[in-house]
Structure 1
Amino acid sequence: MAATADPLVLDFVEWVARAPRSHAEVVETWRTSCPRLTVWEDAADLGYVARAAIAGVGTVVMVTEAGAQLLRDNGRVVG
């Protein structure tokens, strides 16, 4: 059975899968004033994305294997 997710979470994971994003870019792009709309926090809590510190670059947000599987399961293959 395919894993399903909120469409916005899928959109977010797909966006990150195209290229690792800086933490600042993620916060700026997916910022919201609605406390109930926590797309990127939800994706992180579900294990679809993770933060990593890269020397000389800073903190980046990247898709995990679980996130890549979620994309495949939902027909959103990136790469």
Structure 2
Amino acid sequence: MLATDDPLILDLVEWVARGERSHADLMESWRTSCPRLTVWEDAIEHGYLARQGGLIAVTAKGWALLKTSGRRVA
């Protein structure tokens, strides 16, 4: 599951869960110039998010992460 030092991944998954997001929207909102900050790549690698066509979706594993973290997304 998610390490305790990865709160940004949890924030990203929650952000995607709150509304339909395109890949372009995600890249614009979560862009960084820091090569050590790989939130998007880590969320994909861990299986929390996936590309579906032109949209980004929360996976079953991502929904489970939100549930176990106590975050509520309607």
User: TM-score higher than 0.5 here?
Assistant: yes
Please tell me whether the aligned partners of residues 4 and 74 of structure 1 are also in contact (alpha carbons under 8 angstroms): no
Please tell me whether the aligned partners of residues 20 and 63 of structure 1 are also in contact (alpha carbons under 8 angstroms): no
Query: RMSD in angstroms over aligned alpha carbons?
Result: 1.0
Q: Which has the higher strand share?
A: 1
> Is the aligned partner of 1:67 residue 2:67?
no
Distance 2:37 2:69 in 1: 21
Q: AA paired with 1:67?
A: G
Distance 2:36 2:20 in 1: 25
Per the normalisation by structure 1, the TM-score is 0.86
Q: AA paired with 1:17?
A: A
Q: AA paired with 2:61?
A: A
Specify the alignment match of 1:12 in structure 2: 12
Percent identity for Structure 1 against Structure 2: 60
Number of paired residues? 72
* Stretches of structure 2 lacking an aligned partner (at least 5 in a row): none
Q: CA deviation at 1:4?
A: 3.3
Please tell me whether the aligned partners of residues 50 and 62 of structure 1 are also in contact (alpha carbons under 8 angstroms): yes
Larger radius of gyration: 1
* Stretches of structure 1 lacking an aligned partner (at least 5 in a row): 54-58
Per the normalisation by structure 2, the TM-score is 0.91
